[in-house]
Structure 1
Amino acid sequence: MSSQETEVLVVGAGQAGVAMSEHLTNLGVPHIVLEKDRIAERWRTGRWDSLVANGPAWHDRFPGMTFADVPADGFAPKESVADYFAAYAEGFGAPIRSGVEVKSVQRNNGKPGFKVETSEGIINTRFVVAATGPFQIPVIPPIVADSSPLTQMHSHSYRNPQQLRDGGVLVVGAGSSGVQIANELRAAGRQVYLSVGPHDRPPRQYRGQDFCWWLGVLDKWSAAAPPKGAEHVTIAVSGANGGHTVNFRELAAGGIKLLGRTETYSMGKMRFAPDLARNIANGDANYLSVLDEADAYIARNGLNFPEEPQARVLGDDPEELIHPILEMDLEAAGVTTIIWATGFAVDYQWLQVNTFDEQGRPLHQRGVSEESGVYFLGQPWQSSRGSSFIWGVWHDAKYVAEQIDIQRGYLEHMSQIDLDPAHQISPAATARSDNHAAHV
Structure 2
Amino acid sequence: MSNQEPQEVEVLVVGAGQAGVAMSEHLRNNGVPHLVLERSRIAERWRTERWDSLVANGPAWHDRFPGLEFHGIAPDGFATKDQVANYFEAYAKKIAAPIRTGVEVTSVTPHERRPGFRVETSDGVMDARFVVAATGPFQKPVIPPIVPDGAVPVQIHSSGYRNSDQLPQGAVLVVGAGSSGVQIADELQRSGRQVYLSVGPHDRPPRSYRGRDFCWWLGVLGLWDQETPAAGAEHVTIAVSGARGGHTVDFRALAAQGIQLVGLTDAYDDGVLRFRSDLAQNIAAGDANLLALLDQADAWVERNGLDLPEEPDARVIGPNPACVTDPVLALDLAEAGLTSIVWATGFATDYSWLRVGALDESGKPQHRRGISSEPGVYFVGLPWLSRRGSSFIWGVWHDAKHIAGHIATQRSYLTYEAPTA
Asked if residue 72 in structure 1 is aligned to residue 75 in structure 2, the reply is yes
- Structure 1 counterpart of 2:321: 318
Q: 1:377 aligns with which of 357, 368, 380?
A: 380
Given the two structures, how large is their TM-score scaled by the length of structure 2?
0.98
Q: 2:258 aligns with which of 231, 246, 255?
A: 255
- Structure 2 counterpart of 1:161: 164
Distance across 1 between alignment mates of 2:147 and 2:325: 27
Distance across 2 between alignment mates of 1:323 and 1:79: 41
Q: 2:109 aligns with which of 85, 89, 106?
A: 106
Asked if residue 171 in structure 1 is aligned to residue 155 in structure 2, the reply is no
Matches within 5 A, 1:35-434: 35-413=38-416, 416-417=417-418, 422=420
Contact 2:37/2:101 (CA < 8 Å) preserved in 1? yes
Contact 1:171/1:338 (CA < 8 Å) preserved in 2? yes
- Structure 1 counterpart of 2:30: 27
Contact 2:152/2:338 (CA < 8 Å) preserved in 1? no
Distance across 2 between alignment mates of 1:247 and 1:406: 48
Moved over 4 A (4+): none
Compute the displacement of 1:316 (Å). Answer: 2.1
Q: 1:13 aligns with which of 12, 16, 27?
A: 16
Distance across 1 between alignment mates of 2:398 and 2:209: 27
Contact 1:203/1:245 (CA < 8 Å) preserved in 2? yes
Distance across 2 between alignment mates of 1:154 and 1:197: 17
Distance across 2 between alignment mates of 1:345 and 1:243: 28
Q: SS where residue 172 of structure 2 aligns?
A: strand
Distance across 1 between alignment mates of 2:286 and 2:65: 30
Distance across 1 between alignment mates of 2:150 and 2:194: 23
Q: Higher mean Cα deviation, 54-63 or 291-300?
A: 291-300
Matched residue type, 1:363: Q
Contact 1:69/1:80 (CA < 8 Å) preserved in 2? no
Q: Higher mean Cα deviation, 277-286 or 352-361?
A: 352-361
Contact 2:21/2:92 (CA < 8 Å) preserved in 1? yes
Distance across 1 between alignment mates of 2:337 and 2:321: 21
Matched residue type, 1:296: A
Compute the displacement of 1:282 (Å). Answer: 0.5
Distance across 1 between alignment mates of 2:153 and 2:96: 48
Distance across 1 between alignment mates of 2:305 and 2:71: 35
Compute the displacement of 1:304 (Å). Answer: 1.3
Structure 1 stretches of 5 or more lacking a match?
Answer: 424-440
Distance across 2 between alignment mates of 1:169 and 1:287: 28
% identity of equivalent residues: 66
Distance across 2 between alignment mates of 1:250 and 1:27: 50
Structure 2 stretches of 5 or more lacking a match?
Answer: none
Distance across 2 between alignment mates of 1:92 and 1:378: 19
Q: SS where residue 415 of structure 2 aligns?
A: helix
Q: SS where residue 234 of structure 1 aligns?
A: coil
Distance across 2 between alignment mates of 1:103 and 1:290: 44
Contact 2:152/2:340 (CA < 8 Å) preserved in 1? no
Q: SS where residue 117 of structure 1 aligns?
A: strand
Distance across 2 between alignment mates of 1:392 and 1:98: 24
Compute the displacement of 1:147 (Å). Answer: 2.9
Q: Higher mean Cα deviation, 203-212 or 307-316?
A: 307-316
Matched residue type, 1:54: N
Distance across 1 between alignment mates of 2:237 and 2:153: 26
Over residues 296-321 of structure 1, what are the superposed CA-to-partner deviations in whole Å (9 max), with x where a residue is unaligned? 11111111111211111112211011
Distance across 1 between alignment mates of 2:149 and 2:314: 44
Q: SS where residue 65 of structure 1 aligns?
A: coil
Contact 2:262/2:275 (CA < 8 Å) preserved in 1? yes
Distance across 2 between alignment mates of 1:230 and 1:320: 27
Compute the displacement of 1:360 (Å). Answer: 1.0
Q: Which has the larger radius of gyration?
A: 1
Distance across 2 between alignment mates of 1:268 and 1:157: 24
Contact 2:60/2:76 (CA < 8 Å) preserved in 1? yes
Compute the displacement of 1:119 (Å). Answer: 0.9
Q: SS where residue 309 of structure 2 aligns?
A: coil
Compute the displacement of 1:388 (Å). Answer: 1.0
Q: SS where residue 200 of structure 1 aligns?
A: coil
- Superposed CA RMSD in Å reads 0.9
Q: SS where residue 332 of structure 1 aligns?
A: helix
Contact 1:57/1:67 (CA < 8 Å) preserved in 2? yes
Distance across 1 between alignment mates of 2:151 and 2:167: 16
